[in-house]
Chain A
Amino acid sequence: MPGSPSLTTSPPIPAGLSRDQLLEIYRFLRLTRTLEERLTALYKQSKVIGGLFRSLGQEGESVASAYALERGRNRDFLSPLIRNLGSLLVMGGRPVQILRQYMAKDQSPTRGRELNVHFGDLEMGFLGQISHLGDMVPVMAGITLTFKMRREPRVGLVYIGDGATSTGTFHEGLNFAAVQRCPLVVIGEYNGYAYSTTPDRQFAVKNLADKAKGYGIPAVTVDGNDVLAVYEATKYAVDRARMGKGVHFVEVKTFRRKGHAEHDDQHYVPKEELERWAADDPIDRYRRRLIDSGWAEEPDLADIDGDVREEIDQATDACVAEPLPPPESALPGVYAHPAAAERLWFRSLDG
């Protein structure tokens, strides 16, 4: 067909995705990385108050898995971990919220009470983790049990890192959800390091998927840096869960290319390993695939890159000078009733 060679030679887009969706996925990938790069800069300027946790190299699986859910108010639901910023953005979390969280601003979703991606929005369908790894698995079992009890056609998705599959709550929650046939998809992130500990020091099985099988849960292992493979595997699991077929487990093999947090220099990671995985960057790989397959052209993607930079600039400008929460705001909200904790007597003494 003259005039549109790229259309005639392009392979069909897999997994039922449209070209617009492919570009939207690319946008979320770029948004995640650009936002984290901005956070790194703010961290170096001491504007990020606490630690900074990067998902470099894992953006692909985070974005692609979340993208397999139905999004919008009161639709599907997920619980992101510290390295699932991408999934949070897919579900409707906004960069300005993340920036405010990291900088402990009064206007942050938790009003300065919690850090980084530890926040949620029940309507938009995401629930931030607590630091005790594994705990979100039972909680998401309860969320999806509720979907089932109410006969709502909704699905939940929870992430678990390789290290966290050693926790008791992971096993209790997974088993509970399996027995109850909850509409839950578990993404097992095999990223090579739990802080500094390698998988062979965490468990004696080869794949995380082997663990799921012990609970009667169908499990699959996919290349976590192949965005479309992760999407396709997750979509299959999500569709099955929605049909009432219970819990599904998708293991994504990927790699954590930064330290546990910014302070960690990763001296325990062999250099060659880092180089090998850097050469397999999920965003570069996805970008190449879009272009090589003729699904997008260089200028389309460059436009998105520019738009994302602009968006992050605006979000940063909007909040970087905002105040921290006023000290007294620490007291309300422990309970619904009483409304606030008591201010202690010594704070009312005259100097």
Chain B
Amino acid sequence: MAEITFLEGLRQGLREEMERDDRVFILGEDVGAYGGAFKVTEGFQKQFGEARVIDTPISEAAIVGAAAGAAHLGMRPVAEMQFIDFISCAYDMLTNYVATARYRAGLPTPIVVRGPCGGYVRGGPFHSQNPEAAFLHTPGLKIVYPSTVRDAKGLIKAAIRDDDPVLYLEHKWLYRRIKEQIPEGEEILTPIGSARLAREGRDLSVITYGATVWKSLEAAETLEREGVSVEVLDLRTLLPLDDEAILRTVKKTNKVLIVHEDTRTGGLAGEITARINEQAFEWLDGPIMRVTAHDVPLPYAPTLEDFVLPQTDDIVTAARWLASY
């Protein structure tokens, strides 16, 4: 059993789906000859040919639009955004065209739009974004955001097989930092819409996703030594949210800290808070609190980025405060 990186898990998932189903093809900027800015599709063009691994112009709207057209005719396109920050250039195409297609006109549009997201990498304001909140508000899209190698592989495969359009957000801080033993030959499919209990605990629940899953787990270790037992729920799918798993952990620990790397205002934490409020108000022993990025564009300098983004220490401090509430 080989130990592989998060990026290799994603790559394996993509390759397996392309080998399994010749309707699957990849399009994006520099995905072919170069193998992608982060080498996710390295070797793919050689293996699958230029027709199935297409280097496109720098045209995110055209990439997504063309993927949608192909999907209408039964293809299974996977569109890469070189950095997910550039998905905003395809916002119209995704929210107005793709997301509404099935509802308004019965058009099947099974596309995957994937790309590297997230900070902690000194990428500055345009190579570090987390765009999920901008799309959470769009009925018709699904959003997945893996944090483990297994789910990197399992969710890309599930996303490609899903009959609806899926945004697959991959945190570049995890690409080569996270490793896991993945059995060769095992078919890994992570169900879309299902959260994962990353750590069991009794005193407090941290609900999170992406890179902050790892920071929350680190924080939980620290708090464990202080006698505070923290449960960590890794959402994995942000749209649709796994309400059952959220309510289960709320009813177990009765205290909730929501952690996300995205900025606070209008972020996912607000939506989760509202759902808990509506469905489990009487189970709460304290206010639902948030640890998020500050509401500023993400700055470049390490001192600034570290200040703006939520750190493990922030989670420890906030959880400690909430545990003693």
Residue pair B72, A169 in contact (C-beta under 8 Å): no
Among B63, B96, B103, B139, contact of A113 (Cβ-Cβ < 8 Å): B103
Interface string of A328-351 (1 = CB under 8 A from B): 000001111110010001000000
Q: Which 7 A-B pairs have the closest CB atoms?
A: A142-B69, A138-B65, A142-B66, A336-B163, A172-B62, A172-B59, A176-B62
What separation, in Å, do the CA atoms of A335 and B100 have in the docked complex? 9
Q: What residues on B are CB-neighbors of A143 within 8 Å?
A: 69-70, 72-73
Q: What residues on B are CB-neighbors of A140 within 8 Å?
A: 69
Interface residue? A311 (CB, 8 A): no
Residue pair A334, B65 in contact (C-beta under 8 Å): no
Q: Which range holds the interface residue count of chain B?
A: 35 or more
Residue pair B163, A337 in contact (C-beta under 8 Å): yes
Q: What residues on B are CB-neighbors of A345 within 8 Å?
A: 278
Q: What's the nearest-Cβ distance from chain B to residue A336, in Å?
A: 4
Interface residue? B106 (CB, 8 A): yes
What separation, in Å, do the CA atoms of A120 and B107 have in the docked complex? 8
Among A109, A110, A138, A336, contact of B93 (Cβ-Cβ < 8 Å): A138
What separation, in Å, do the CA atoms of A127 and B72 have in the docked complex? 10
Residue of A nearest to B52 (CB): A149
Interface residue? A54 (CB, 8 A): no
Residue pair A122, B69 in contact (C-beta under 8 Å): no
Q: What residues on A are CB-neighbors of B107 within 8 Å?
A: 120, 122, 127
Residue pair B93, A135 in contact (C-beta under 8 Å): yes
Among B92, B104, B105, B139, contact of A135 (Cβ-Cβ < 8 Å): B92
Residue pair A135, B72 in contact (C-beta under 8 Å): no
Among A131, A145, A337, contact of B70 (Cβ-Cβ < 8 Å): A145
Among B73, B103, B104, contact of A118 (Cβ-Cβ < 8 Å): B104
What separation, in Å, do the CA atoms of A141 and B102 have in the docked complex? 19
Would you list which residues of chain A between 140 and 171 have a CB under 8 Å from chain B? 140-146, 149, 168-169
What separation, in Å, do the CA atoms of A109 and B107 have in the docked complex? 12
Q: What residues on A are CB-neighbors of B77 within 8 Å?
A: 142
Q: What's the nearest-Cβ distance from chain A to residue B318, in Å?
A: 31
* B residues adjacent to A (C-beta < 8 A): 25, 51-52, 54, 56-57, 59, 61-73, 75, 77, 92-93, 96-97, 100, 102-108, 139-140, 142, 162-164, 240, 278
Among B59, B64, B73, B102, contact of A333 (Cβ-Cβ < 8 Å): B102
Residue pair B103, A333 in contact (C-beta under 8 Å): yes
What separation, in Å, do the CA atoms of A203 and B92 have in the docked complex? 23
Interface string of A41-67 (1 = CB under 8 A from B): 000000000000000000000000000
Q: What's the nearest-Cβ distance from chain B to residue A77, in Å?
A: 9
Q: What residues on A are CB-neighbors of B52 within 8 Å?
A: 149
Residue pair B103, A130 in contact (C-beta under 8 Å): no
Residue pair A139, B142 in contact (C-beta under 8 Å): no
Q: Would you mind naming 15 contact pairs between A and B with Cβ atoms under 8 Å apart?
A: A110-B106, A114-B104, A118-B105, A122-B72, A128-B105, A131-B96, A135-B61, A135-B65, A138-B65, A141-B66, A146-B69, A176-B63, A333-B102, A333-B103, A335-B102
Residue pair B106, A141 in contact (C-beta under 8 Å): no
Residue pair B65, A149 in contact (C-beta under 8 Å): no
Q: What's the nearest-Cβ distance from chain B to residue A125, in Å?
A: 11
Q: What residues on A are CB-neighbors of B164 within 8 Å?
A: 335-337
Residue pair A179, B105 in contact (C-beta under 8 Å): no
What separation, in Å, do the CA atoms of A118 and B66 have in the docked complex? 19
What separation, in Å, do the CA atoms of A127 and B109 have in the docked complex? 13
Among B59, B70, B100, B142, contact of A142 (Cβ-Cβ < 8 Å): B70
Residue of A nearest to B165 (CB): A335
Asked, given contacts A118-B105, A120-B105, whether A142 binds B92 with beta carbons under 8 Å apart, the answer is no
Residue pair A137, B103 in contact (C-beta under 8 Å): no
Interface residue? A132 (CB, 8 A): yes
What separation, in Å, do the CA atoms of A128 and B104 have in the docked complex? 10
Residue of B nearest to A144 (CB): B69
Residue pair B92, A122 in contact (C-beta under 8 Å): no
Residue pair B96, A149 in contact (C-beta under 8 Å): no
Residue pair B140, A334 in contact (C-beta under 8 Å): yes
Residue of B nearest to A176 (CB): B62
Among B57, B61, B100, contact of A130 (Cβ-Cβ < 8 Å): B100
Interface residue? A225 (CB, 8 A): no
Residue pair B69, A130 in contact (C-beta under 8 Å): no
Asked, given contacts A113-B104, A334-B139, A337-B164, whether A138 binds B57 with beta carbons under 8 Å apart, the answer is no
